[in-house]
Every structure is written in structure tokens, then in C-alpha cells.
Structure 1
Amino acid sequence: MKFGGTSIGDGEKIRNVAKIVKEYSEENEVVVVLSALRGVTDSLEGIAKTLIKDSKEGTIEKFIQEMGGRHLSAIEVAIPKEEQRIEVIETVDEGLRELQEVLLGIYFLGEATPRSLDYIMSFGERISAPILSASLRSLGVESKSFMGGEAGLITDSTFGGASPLPESYEMIRDKLEPFLKKEVSVVSGFIAENSDGVITTLGRDGSDYTASIVGTALDADEIWIFTDVDGIMTYNPKIIPEARTIPIISYLEAMELTYFGTSVIHPKAIEPAMNRGIPVRVKNTFNPSNSGTRIVKGYKKDKRVVKAVTAIEDVASLMVAGAGMMGTPGVAARVFSALAKRKINVMMISQGSSEANISMVVEAKYGEDAVRVLHEAFELERL
């Protein structure tokens, strides 16, 4: 069972999640994968970038106070009895002190490496998992929290978007299987470790990916992804109120929809489950009795020719063009190699039959940077 930031935005929501987990754990062996509280990862990334560029005196102290205040408020509601809060408050305080030291280092250096950014962005999940685990214990459910690496999730050293190593599956099984029958393990989503024990992240919204990896490693009956809508919808219900839930969909259909704008589940989360044939179910934290959408092997035919509509917002369309491109080998390779070095993901590509241009789509926030990169790659400033 994976719960994202929208599911645990505050103490009341964390308590609600704990009750859902308690209910299902009474008759099932359950492992929970948890994101950071809503907005925390964005805040961590934001403070790091602020400290790199320009920051005023007291910026770090103010940030730590706000972060601590929010989590302590959540703890008070998620764990009603004061004596049961002591241990988790100590854990949170220790994490915040460590975070403050790292932020001070960035402030003095005026720079942050991808490795240090991963370390900073890991704190959201490192703090949230112990809170949910303590909330479960307050409901009488035996529970223990694990960071991704502690749970056996080992990756390569591609900071900011690491990939799990093949041996992770066996390591996760060895770490977590002994606890299945006696307690609920709460695993920090999004974060892992490389083989040297250095913290890595799986990329933004990587908690879904963590859940799929953990579920596959444990050969789960199903992997449940909890969000704030009743599954995969025919379109975003915030825009089209009459959109309906798709009850069942194939792995392939789900992957296509998620790659092109459907945000209820991360595209990478489907592949591990698909390789093992484990169904993935998308459910609503705030309407848990709804069966949601079941993603399965095979193709489910529908009376309707079109099953869903999706759209990608905030994108930039780029094109490189020149008659000299026709018949010249390696142009596309230079384009994508240059963008990859700057960690700019190409969402879509197109090339006409004349080979005189290549069009591509990237996230809007990377649009200007992508133009600069391609300008430099083809030395256009020398014309």
C-alpha cells in the first residue's frame, strides 16, 4: 500500500491513513510505502536552490522552524497520547538538526551537488515514515519504519534519478519478509542508497516506483497506489466533473496514459509489477471502499473505441532545422546527448521524412535551458 503526499497532508490525514492500514492489516500481510507530507519535497528543493543563489541571514533557521512546526502539529493529531509521541518527536528533531547542518554547508559553499540535493530531498520521507509508524502503534498495530536503503533498495549512483540494481529485489525480500506476519513495515518512498550507503533518490514522484519494486520483491497479491481520486479516470475530474473511473485497464494502456499526462501513478511504477504479472490497483484514500482501477496483464476490450483522454500541460516544443541535416548521420544523437548531459528529459520526438528537422517536447521549465544547450551543441554562436 502506497500513500502519497496528498494522502498525508496533515495529522488528521495521517491518522486516517493509519486507520485504513489497520483495517486491511487485520486480514492481510501489509507493507506501506510512504511519501513526504504534501509539499515538503518541493520546499526542500526550493530552500536548497535559494541558498545557492542568494539568501538572507536567518533563512535556514526560519525554514527549519516552519518545517518542525508543521511536523510537530501533525504528530499531535496523528498520535493522540502524549507519551506515545516522545520517540517520534526525538526522531523528527534529530532529522531537522541534521538537515540544518547540511543546509548551512550549502549556504557557505554557495553550491549543491546532485548528491547533496538528493540528501536534502530525502528528509521529507525520512521524517514522515516514523510518524505514520508511530500512529499505527498508537492504534495497537505493531509497526516499524525503514528508510529505502534499510529496506534493501539499492541503486546505481545516478543522483536525482537512480535506478534499482537487480539484487535489490532479493535484498528487500530478505529484509522485510521476516516482519510480514508480525508487524506492518513502513518504508520511505522515493529514497534509496547506492552500494556505498550514500542516499539516492528515484526521481520526483518516485514513491510509486518504490511501492512497485517492494511489492514485486515480496511477490504481493496486489500493489495498491492510494491517491486523491477514485482511480484512473477518463479525464481529470477537476476539469471534467462527469469523468468516470475506468474499472480495469491493461498495463500497456496505463503506461501510455501516465506517460502522456495522467498523474495518478508514475509511469515507472508499472514496469516491475508488469514483469511479474502483479496487478496494480489505484484507489482513493478518502473513499477507500471504492474499488478504484485495476491494472492487469492483457487487453480489456471496451465497447468504446477510446477509453480515456489525457493532456500534458506546461510543455515547450523545440525544433532544430537545417538543410544540412539531410543524410548527415549522428545529428539526432548529438541533440539527445547534449540534452541528456543537462538532465533534460525529452518527452516526445518527431522527424519529418525530409530529415531536415527534428522536433521535440520538453517540460516548459526546461525550455530555455534546452535552447541554450542545443545552441551550444551545434556551435550556432560561431555563425
Structure 2
Amino acid sequence: MGQHTVEKIGGTSMTRFGELMENILIGSRRGAELYNRIFVVSAYGGITNLLLENKKTAEPGIYASFAAGDRIWENKLEETRNEMIRLNRSFEELGLDQTAADDFVNERMDGVKNCLRHLMQLRSFGHFHREDYLPAARELLSSIGEAHSAFNSTLILRERGVNAVFVDLSGWRDQDTDSMEETISGHLAGLDFASCMPIVTGYAKCKEGVMAKFDRGYSEITFSKLAVVTGAREGIIHKEFHLSTGDPKLIGADKVRTIGHTNYDIADQLADMAMEAIHPKASKAMELAGIPIRVANAFDPGNPGTLISRDYVAPTPRVDMICGRRDVLAIEVFDPEMVGEPGYDYNVLASFAKNKISYIAKNTNANTITHFVSEKSKNLDKCLKELKEHFHGAQISTREVAIVSVIGTNMKLPGFLHRAAKALAESKINVLALDQCIRQVNMQFIIDREDFETAQKALHRELVEHEQI
């Protein structure tokens, strides 16, 4: 293992760059203390939405408009350019060279505009199919945001006397395309981490197509690959919040606590609840390499945050987190002829697999199988139609539900499940279904959506707050 860390900063934090310098990048550090740290940066908050599409509302950005054949994409591009230049102005007081920053934006955006115009011309001939060029266009547009923030960050830090180095993995105008590992190794070759601070783009151009494989989670994949390739001693993810025992906005900041230490298994459980501490594909590579991950609050520098390591188990039984998701659909297959029928479940799952739908939880009994899936899953209607066509004698129904989870590295103590169920009952919450594996790291309660918030408060009060008294 090396002496350095690899640290990732998210987009919302990047817009508060002055605070980042005070809390993380510089602070009281001087000389050699500044180095042996590699930073992977995301695009400024909102920029990737403008480049692609809004992640929450699906409002088209440049890419979505271009993919739809809507000429408004050029207007979208100019709006995005203006926003990027406006962001440049917001960092003028930090010492950002406005001419250099604007020239960088204009060169990239002009290049993208020309490229997309040429693709539009090719499209008009009818011999070039969307699937041949749209993935490349999406990759190209994705790369712009991270390159912008990394370039600006490097300029500002160098103005402050830091030996920052802009490491552009975006492949801008590169004719060759290597694997991500080769791309990272090639761009970092010759850098002495002990005397410089690499500022690395969260997007990395590679043969496998990082957007095609991971879509909007690509910056954490870059972070993970960097840590593994360079043999980092630790990976650090700087967020706008601590990884806490519950949602502070719901339960109250005075009632939750920072988890402090947990393991990769729990990180996977959180990801299943859409509470990603880190992208599961990213964490797996670091887990196998034995590199711990620290999740820290970028704006609470005195707090060590939460360390995620491979083998940690809490020395005393406790609950790490109460969380959940309300975007869940229960798909129930009831068939009196199911009992004792080998392979029945396999045939149900075949339709799920065919339509690329993964399930979050599952219940079975003699004649009923219920899978709980995200209602946002693509091809869900198609999957349901296929199930009804394939299982003629079955009753197939759906129900909108929520899942609330009690998660912890060490919950193998008689009474945890009883206390959780009792807390829900005392809050007048009916448990529709329950899911827990023998390993006892995750109790999942399926409930009505209207009880989602009340259930989390009740469980946190009983299993976390009472333990602190």
C-alpha cells in the first residue's frame, strides 16, 4: 500500500470551493502536509443535468434533446455554456483566472457543438443508426462537466501556492482508447504524490465506456479504480452530510449519531435501500483490494466520519442505521399448483432477468411468491405482461408499498426483532411482510407507504435513541 489517499468530492460540495479549501484541500496544512492526496472531482452541482438530462425530473438537457432529434439542443448547449461561465465568475474572488477558465469552457463547448452538428449531418443520410453514435455522444457530453471543475480547481489551488496538477482523464481529442486502468496509469505516470496534488476528472474515457456501464455513477468508479491502481492506503468520500443512524431531516439532527465504523457488507445493504455510501461496483473493487473507505462530511472537518472496512463487526450488538425506500412495488404470484413444483420460482425470475429487473426483498410460502422491486424499474409493465401470459393459472397482483430497514454489523442478539416489531405495533403500524436472513445484518419491514416516516422514527427511537440513554 502507498502512503497516499484518494479522495472524492461531490458536485454540490464543489460549488462551495472556498469552504473546501478551508476544510479539506488546504486549511492549516503547509508544505509536505498538502500532498500524498489525490482528489477526484465531480462536475459542479447541476451541470451534468444540463449536459444530459435532469436526474430527478427527466427534463431534457443537451444530450436528451439531441437524442430526440430536437434542434433545441443547440439552445441547450448555449444555456449550459452560459451557466459554466457564470460559475467561473463565482470563483473570481478565490483567484480563478477568468480568461483561462472561460477559454477552457469555450474550447470544449465549441468542440462539442461541432461534433454534434457533424453527427446530425450523418444522421440525415439514414445509413447511420442511433445506437452507433448516441452512446459516444453521451460519453463526450458527460466528460465536459468534470473537466471544467477539475481545471478550475487546479488554477485556484496553484494561485494559492499549491502544486496542483490537472489530470484530465476525459480523453479530449485523444485518438487512442485504453482500459480505465491503462488510462489512469498513463496519466499519473511520473507524478510524485509526495510533492504534488493531482486533481483528477471524475469521468474517465475507456474502452468499456464508463457511461454505458455505470451511467451517472461513473465518478465513484473512477475514484475506486484510482485507489486500486495506485495502491492507496485509504479512500475518502467527502459528502455534504455524515453517514448517520437515520435521516437527520426526518428524525432530527440532535437525535441521530454518526455511525463511526461499519463494513462493506453494510454498505451493500445501504445501497439496496438507495442509501448509497458508495456505488456497489466501486466498493467491491476496493473491498477486494483491502482498501478501507471513509465517508466524511466536507463541512465538518474535525469529525473523522465513518470508516468502512472489510472485516469490522461492532464489539457490542447495536443498530447502525434505520433507513428505507418508499418507491417499492410488491409483485405477488399466487398459484395453488405451486406447492411442491420444482423450478416454479426459477421461471418467475427468468422474466425478471430477461427484463433486467432486480428485486430488493422476497417472501415465499406454499403457494405464494412475492418479490419487492423498485417501481422505477424499466420494462416493469412488459415483465408483468409476460408473467400473466406464462402463468395462466396464477393470480398476479401488484401493490404499492414501502420498506423500512434496520441494519447493523452485529444484531445477533435475542430480542432485536421483538423490540422492532413492538415499536411498530405501538405506533399503530401494520407489518405487511418481513424479511430477514440468517446472517441477521438487515431486518426489512414491508409496510404501507403512508407509514414510511412514522416507522423510521419509531424504530430509531427504540433501537438507537434508547441505547444512548
Q: TM-score, normalised by structure 2?
A: 0.66
Structure 2 CA distance for partners of 1:315 and 1:50, relative to 1, 3 Å: farther
Structure 1 distance, partners of 2:187, 2:110, is: 28
1:309 aligns with 2:322: yes
Q: What's the counterpart of residue 401 of structure 2?
A: none
Q: What does 1:243-258 align with in structure 2 at a 5 Å threshold? A: 243-258=256-271
Structure 2 CA distance for partners of 1:339 and 1:198, relative to 1, 3 Å: closer
Residue-by-residue CA offset, 1:228-274 (whole Å, 9 max, x unaligned): 012x1101212222211111112222222233232343233322222
1:371 aligns with 2:381: yes
The one-letter amino acid of 1:194's match is K
Structure 2 CA distance for partners of 1:261 and 1:302, relative to 1, 3 Å: farther
Structure 2 distance, partners of 1:211, 1:66, is: 29
Which of residues 60, 64, 80 is equivalent to 1:49? 64
Flag structure 1 segments of 5+ consecutive residues without an equivalent. Answer: 156-163
Per-residue deviation, 1:120: 2.4
Which of residues 272, 281, 287 is equivalent to 1:259? 272
Residue-by-residue CA offset, 1:35-79 (whole Å, 9 max, x unaligned): 111122223222232444474x6x334322332222222223335
Secondary structure of the residue aligned to 1:238 is helix
Question: Given that residues 102 and 120 in structure 1 are in contact (C-alpha distance below 8 angstroms), is that contact kept between their aligned partners in structure 2?
Answer: no
Q: What's the counterpart of residue 43 of structure 2?
A: 36
Question: Given that residues 34 and 128 in structure 1 are in contact (C-alpha distance below 8 angstroms), is that contact kept between their aligned partners in structure 2?
Answer: yes
Question: Given that residues 233 and 291 in structure 2 are in contact (C-alpha distance below 8 angstroms), is that contact kept between their aligned partners in structure 1?
Answer: yes
Structure 2 distance, partners of 1:127, 1:322, is: 57
Q: What's the counterpart of residue 4 of structure 1?
A: 10
Residue-by-residue CA offset, 1:316-337 (whole Å, 9 max, x unaligned): 3334565677435752453133
Q: TM-score, normalised by structure 1?
A: 0.79
Secondary structure of the residue aligned to 2:215 is coil
Q: What's the counterpart of residue 123 of structure 1?
A: 144
Which of residues 251, 259, 264 is equivalent to 1:240? 251
Q: What does 1:330-349 align with in structure 2 at a 5 Å threshold? A: 331-332=347-348, 334-340=350-356, 345-349=357-361
Question: Given that residues 169 and 184 in structure 2 are in contact (C-alpha distance below 8 angstroms), is that contact kept between their aligned partners in structure 1?
Answer: no
Structure 2 CA distance for partners of 1:121 and 1:83, relative to 1, 3 Å: closer
Q: What's the counterpart of residue 17 of structure 1?
A: 20
Structure 2 CA distance for partners of 1:259 and 1:323, relative to 1, 3 Å: same
Structure 2 distance, partners of 1:64, 1:42, is: 12
Structure 2 distance, partners of 1:153, 1:370, is: 36
Q: What's the counterpart of residue 159 of structure 1?
A: none
Per-residue deviation, 1:154: 5.1
Structure 1 distance, partners of 2:387, 2:136, is: 26
Secondary structure of the residue aligned to 2:26 is helix
Question: Given that residues 9 and 239 in structure 2 are in contact (C-alpha distance below 8 angstroms), is that contact kept between their aligned partners in structure 1?
Answer: yes
The one-letter amino acid of 2:342's match is G
Per-residue deviation, 1:104: 4.5
Question: Given that residues 228 and 286 in structure 1 are in contact (C-alpha distance below 8 angstroms), is that contact kept between their aligned partners in structure 2?
Answer: yes
Which of residues 215, 229, 240 is equivalent to 2:241? 229
Structure 2 CA distance for partners of 1:282 and 1:352, relative to 1, 3 Å: same
**Higher mean displacement: 41-50 or 80-89:** 80-89
Alignment RMSD: 3.6
Question: Given that residues 183 and 206 in structure 2 are in contact (C-alpha distance below 8 angstroms), is that contact kept between their aligned partners in structure 1?
Answer: no
1:217 aligns with 2:229: yes
Secondary structure of the residue aligned to 2:322 is coil
Q: What does 1:1-383 align with in structure 2 at a 5 Å threshold? A: 1-8=7-14, 10=15, 13-19=16-22, 20-23=24-27, 26-27=32-33, 28-46=35-53, 47=61, 48-53=63-68, 55=70, 59-80=72-93, 84-104=97-117, 109=123, 113-148=134-169, 155=179, 168=181, 172-173=184-185, 175-176=187-188, 178-179=190-191, 180-194=193-207, 202-230=214-242, 232-241=243-252, 242-319=255-332, 326-328=341-343, 331-332=347-348, 334-340=350-356, 345-350=357-362, 352-354=364-366, 357=369, 359-362=371-374, 364-366=375-377, 369-375=379-385
Structure 2 CA distance for partners of 1:188 and 1:234, relative to 1, 3 Å: same
Structure 1 distance, partners of 2:50, 2:350, is: 35
Larger radius of gyration: 2
Structure 1 distance, partners of 2:210, 2:224, is: 22
